[in-house]
Amino acid sequence: MTLRTSPEVGGMGHSIKRKEDPRFIRGKGTYVDDVVLPGMLYLDIVRSPHAHAKIVKIDPSKAMAVPGVLAVITGQDLAKYNLHWMPTLMSDTQMVLPVEKVMYQAQEVAAVLATSRYAAADGAAVVEVEYDPLPAVVDPHKALEPGAPVLRTDKKDKKDNHIWHWEWGDRAATDRAFAEADVTVKEKIYIPRIHVASIETCGCIAHFDKVDGKLTVWMTTQAPHAIRTVFALVAGHVGLAEHKIRIISPDIGGGFGGKVPVYPGYVIAVAASVLTGKPVKWIEDRMENLQADSFARDYHITAELAAKKDGTLTALRIKTLADHGYTDAAANPSKFPAGLFHVCTGSYDLKAAHVEVDGAYTNKPPGGIAYRCSFRVTEAVHTIERMVDIMAHQLGQDPAEFRMKNFIRPEQFPYKSALGWEYDSGNYGGALQKAMDGVGYAELRREQAEKRNRGELMGIGISSFTEIVGAGPSKHFDILGIKMFDSCEIRIHPTGKAIARFGTKSQGQGHETTYAQILAEELGIPAADIQVEEGDTDTAPYGLGTYASRSTPVAGAAAAVASRKILDKARKIAAHLLEVAAEDLVYEPGKFSVKGSPNRSKTIQDVAFAAYTNHPQGMEAGLEAVSYYDPPNLTYPFGSYICVVDIDKGTGEVKIRRFLAIDDCGNIINPMIVQGQVHGGLTMGLAPALFEEISYDEFGNVQGGSFIDYLVPTAVETPKWETGHTVTPSPHHPLGAKGVGESATVGAPAAIANAVVDALWHLGVRHVDIPITPPKVWKLLREKGVTE
């Protein structure tokens, strides 16, 4: 991409340093727990030791005796205001505090309000709760068996634990393609329950000002406006109207999807503040965060792939059981209960596909959030990339050649997938070829053959993923009815500096820098002169927030469109200043000049000053614009990753020797930030591939509830990532950009799993579920008789 602006202006393509970093690296960020208000009270939560139990009695007397404890809040207290249940984003219902029974271990049971955090914790430790344990339903398959205990006894007509059935695609055509196929492969793939484990846990400070009746909530949320509207809808009956609610999302220490939902703690803090008229702070600790916040994945998949003898793929069939815990609290666009899972045909030109998903209730924390994945895209990519690899190996074909043969070709874009998506642009062969050249693929295959002769286990894994990000076109995408547009409002000040506000909310992605670069690119105002603000609902224009890598595709587009509206007016002002017709001006970023006489020109700063001091008669003063952008389509970033592993026959350890990621997110705003996103994303893809899993024992006790059991990779476990990119612009995005924030997390696990299976295929291993831990591999090696 040729750069249109100088490094000083810092438009698109410049790796300018992040504007937010000076405050972060000096420890001067303002995270929610940094906010301290006079007279603030603290909340701590009593949690259930049982996965399923009736609540017989809650005795607050000992807690009330702790100095500083002011109140113990129970479900009965909230029930008086009908606030003991709340709706989930998927229109299910979730307890704020229970009245009858608890549904998972670590569920909120009661809350203690005190004058200090320590008093609140001391109080919570001595609230006496009498439980009557009930049988726990842990396995979602068993949950759907006849005779399984019905969990949602609160739903009058509910007679089983089935939440919904969803299917997509042409079943008959798919069945026909399978009947006619020369070769079919079938595999059961489990994608385990994992947790985002962001550095900062969740929390809030709710401050209800009794004098003006206004509620202000500082909150770790990725979607402040949506939260405000949900609060107004849920709490309208107790007098909270939307103009009297202000949500402020301060600096956030990682969101990754886990900060999209509303958690009970937020609601309890708000209720406590409304009742006391004092600010109330609630901050989760690490174990609460891991044990009780929304989880991701937990998909039990059965996938089948069909091909002709020559290796041409024809059809895909998938059946999935989704474990949602005790309530469906997935953060999906409302029309898609399984998210965008139906992008599961991936990068391949399949003629037919059919996918079915069933949701089930179990005694586990609720969720189904996207963990750095645009709504179930990781599950989709893992499935298709594993299946394609299995098919290639089954046919005895090289997995790279096999992919090249079956890719959607560049000239087929825009491409309509068998499951109905319109892929905007792509060059899958180009990315894979670049990755193959980068790692020296042919040489690695030769080395692998030699090693295999010597009995050594080396594997090469490929993942050529296609993502779908930037939700989304309002025709199909809404959350609880609110359309998924996003917004940008720009004001140019008289001296040529600017402020731009957005409906999104950065959690570490660097929006203060990259949005300023978009404005710099369009307006020619240096990025350093542009203040970017997000996250305060009293000042930012309405938007749906940051997740699903939608900020660049949607709000980034809004920034370009709003800038262009400003330029329309700026051109008229410049024409007035230069005393020529607007059509007689040529524009380059930051400068209007007269056609044919380039010396006669006005800068954007001249124009800005004139907009307030010397604007044409009949024109309104000022230089401002706002755009609410409704994208015509999603964007489809893609990439090809190649992973090389060596497996230790003594321990079963998988060692990643090399990992090369070639990404394509269309035109790039800031290459350094994109590379940072890819590095972080790769580590978050490594995590579930080799380490992370939250499992439960038969009683529903959580097995990954602290960092002792939940293995988050550190720098020590992380290999040296090699990165690169190709550029295939999006044809419909005003800047040709696609999202990138989640790509690496989506694409990486399959490359690692494919490398492991590639190392073991000759021993008869077809599939290994992630996380691929040393004990799991060692057990396999032992079964095959190759341990050392």
- Of residues 197-256, those binding ligand MCN (CB under 6 A): 254-256
Helix or strand (DSSP H, E) at 166: strand 162-169
Q: Which of 673, 686, 760, 765 binds ligand MCN (CB under 6 A)?
A: 673
- 344 catalytic, yes or no? no
Give the span between the Cα atoms of 634 and 731, in whole angstroms: 11
Tell me whether residue 742 is one of the annotated catalytic residues. yes
Considering CB under 6 A, how many residues would be counted as binding ligand MCN?
Answer: 33
β-pairing, 498-502 vs 530-534, is: parallel
Task: Confirm whether 242 is a catalytic residue.
Answer: no
Query: Least distance to ligand CUN from the beta carbon of 546, Å?
Result: 7
Give me the residue label for tokens 């969720």: 367
- Residue among 219, 737, 746, 751 that touches ligand MCN (CB under 6 A): 737
Alpha-carbon distance 256 to 128, whole Å? 36
* DSSP states along 391-412: HHHHTT--HHHHHHHHBPPGGG
For ligand CUN, give the closer residue by CB, 5 or 374: 374
Interface stretch with ligand MCN, choices 147-155, 685-693, 712-720, 735-743 (CB under 6 A)? 735-743
The Cβ of residue 597 has, within 10 Å, a number of other Cβ atoms equal to 11
The whole-angstrom separation of Cα 228 and Cα 223 is 9
Non-local (6+) Cβ contacts of 711 within 8 A are 691, 692
* Site string (254-273) toward ligand CUN, x via CB under 6 A: -xxx----------------
Name the one range near ligand MCN by CB under 6 A: 341-349, 562-570, 690-698, 740-748.
740-748
Tokens of 305: 């792939």
List the one residue from 644, 668, 689, 751 that touches ligand MCN (CB under 6 A). Answer: 668
Structural tokens at position 288: 């609460």
Q: State the catalytic residue, choosing from 107, 222, 448, 605.
A: 222
**Separation of first and last alpha carbons in the chain:** 52
Comparison of 311 and 333: residue with beta carbon closer to ligand MCN = 333
- Give the phi and the psi of residue 533 in degrees, each rounded to 5: -130, 140
Question: Nearest to residue 332, comparing CAs of 457, 480, 158, 194?
Answer: 480
CB of 469 to ligand MCN, least distance (A): 7
Active-site choice (372, 386, 403, 658):
372
Q: Which of 700, 742, 748, 757 binds ligand CUN (CB under 6 A)?
A: 742
548 is a contact residue toward ligand CUN (CB under 6 A) = yes
In which element (H, E) is residue 76 found?
Answer: helix 75-79
Written as one letter, the residue type at 727 is V
Give me the least distance between CB of 644 and ligand MCN, in Å please: 26
Binding residues among 697-716 for ligand MCN as defined by CB under 6 A: none
Near ligand CUN by CB under 6 A: residue from 124, 272, 307, 373: 373
Distance of CA 1 to the CA centre of its chain: 28
* β-bridge pairing 295-307 and 367-369: parallel
Is residue 511 involved in binding ligand MCN (CB under 6 A)? yes
Question: What is the distance between the alpha carbons of residues 680 and 674, in angstroms, rounded to a whole number?
Answer: 10
Rounded to whole angstroms, the Cα distance separating 261 from 369 reads 8
> Per rule CB under 6 A, is residue 342 in the interface with ligand MCN?
no
> Which residue, 276 or 474, has its beta carbon nearer to ligand MCN?
474
Q: Least Å distance between CB 374 and ligand CUN?
A: 5
The DSSP letter of residue 468 is -
289 in contact with ligand MCN (CB under 6 A) = no
Among the residue ranges 7-15, 370-378, 529-537, 627-635, the one whose residues contact ligand CUN (CB under 6 A): 370-378
Binding ligand CUN (rule: CB under 6 A), the pick from 84, 278, 342, 372 is 372
Q: How far is 534 from 500, CA to CA, in rounded Å?
A: 9
Amino acid found at 356: E
Query: Residue 560 touches which of ligand MCN, ligand CUN, none (CB < 5 to 8 A by kind)?
Result: none
Query: Residues 6 or more apart from 431 whose CB is under 8 A from it?
Result: 464, 638, 639, 640, 662, 663, 664, 726
Smallest gap from Cβ 194 to ligand MCN, in A, equals 13
Candidate segments 260-268, 563-571, 662-670, 712-720, binder of ligand MCN by CB under 6 A: 662-670
Residue pointed to by tokens 């790692």: 439
> How many of the chain's residues bind ligand CUN (CB under 6 A)?
12
Q: Give me the residue label for tokens 């509303």.
A: 262
Where do runs of H (alpha helix) occur along 644-742? 671-686
Q: Is 551 in the site for ligand MCN (CB under 6 A)?
A: yes
Q: Work out what residue 367 binds among ligand CUN, ligand MCN, none; the CB cut-off runs from 5 to 8 Å by kind.
A: none
Asked whether position 552 contacts ligand MCN by CB under 6 A, the answer is yes
In the numeric block, the tokens 């089930």 are attached to 360
Any catalytic annotation for residue 373?
yes
Closest alpha carbon to 257 in 196, 215, 300: 196
Q: Is residue 16 within the footprint of ligand MCN (CB under 6 A)?
A: no
Q: Which span (28-36, 506-514, 578-586, 620-628) binds ligand MCN, by CB under 6 A?
A: 506-514
For ligand CUN, the closer of residues 373 and 594 by Cβ is: 373
Q: Give Cβ neighbours of residue 493 (< 8 Å, ≥ 6 apart).
A: 499, 608
In the complex with ligand CUN, which residue's Cβ is closer, 216 or 551? Answer: 551
- Residue span binding ligand MCN (CB under 6 A) among the ranges 171-179, 238-246, 430-438, 664-672: 664-672
Asked if 372 and 684 count as a contact pair (C-beta separation under 8 A), the reply is yes
Q: Which residues are catalytic?
A: 222, 372-373, 742
Residues that bind ligand CUN in the complex, under the rule CB under 6 A: 222, 255-257, 370-374, 547-548, 742
Residues that bind ligand MCN in the complex, under the rule CB under 6 A: 254-257, 372, 507-511, 514, 546-552, 665-666, 668-670, 673-674, 677, 680, 737-742
